[in-house]
Structures are given as C-alpha cells and as structure tokens.
Amino acid sequence: SRRTGTCPRTTVIASPASQNTSDGLSVSNQVDGVILVIEAEHTRWPVAEKTKEDIIQSGGKILGILFNRRKFYIPPFIYQRLS
C-alpha cells in the first residue's frame, strides 16, 4: 500500500545519567531536541543545572524537562480544590 502525506517519526534515545557516561552529550547535537529527565527528590538542583548547561554547550536543544518519580504528599482532593 502507498501512503499519502507525511507521517512524523519519533525516535527516543534513552541515555544514562550524564554523571555516569557522556553518551547522552555526544548525541545531543545530532538530534532534533532533548527532553531532560530529572528524578524528583533525588537529583540536586546544581547537578540538573550543570547537565542542562552541558547539553546546550555541546550543541543540544532542550525541548523540555520532565520530573520522574514525583511523590504527592498532599491528598489529590486538596490539589483539585487549589486548581
């Protein structure tokens, strides 16, 4: 069968923490963008900031930052009342 139009393709490349290896930094300038995943309550702010700066300095483009494993200490109904 033949397709008409264009279909965007997305490829996700997962990389270990930048403190452990430079793999992520080495490909960050070869992809359309980087989503920086930060483990909530584990990754310290200076480390996250340094990682972001390293990606930008290596030619990468930050598309966004995702907080992984975030804990909600306040019950959900209170969050709903606040929004």
Q: What's the CA angle centered on 34, arms 73 and 30, to 5 degrees?
A: 165
- What the block records as the tokens of 34 is 């980087």
Length of the chain (residues): 83
Mean pLDDT of 47-75: 89
Site of tokens 């930008």 = 56
CB atoms within 10 A of CB 77: 8
The mean per-residue pLDDT over the stretch 12-32 comes to 75
Model pLDDT for residues 27-56, shown as the tens digit of each residue: 888 888 888 888 888 888 898 898 899 899
Please tell me the distance from the alpha carbon of residue 4 to that of residue 1, in angstroms, as a whole number: 10
Q: Look up residue 74 and give its two tokens.
A: 């306040």
Pairing of strands 34-39, 62-68: parallel
The structure's pTM equals: 0.67
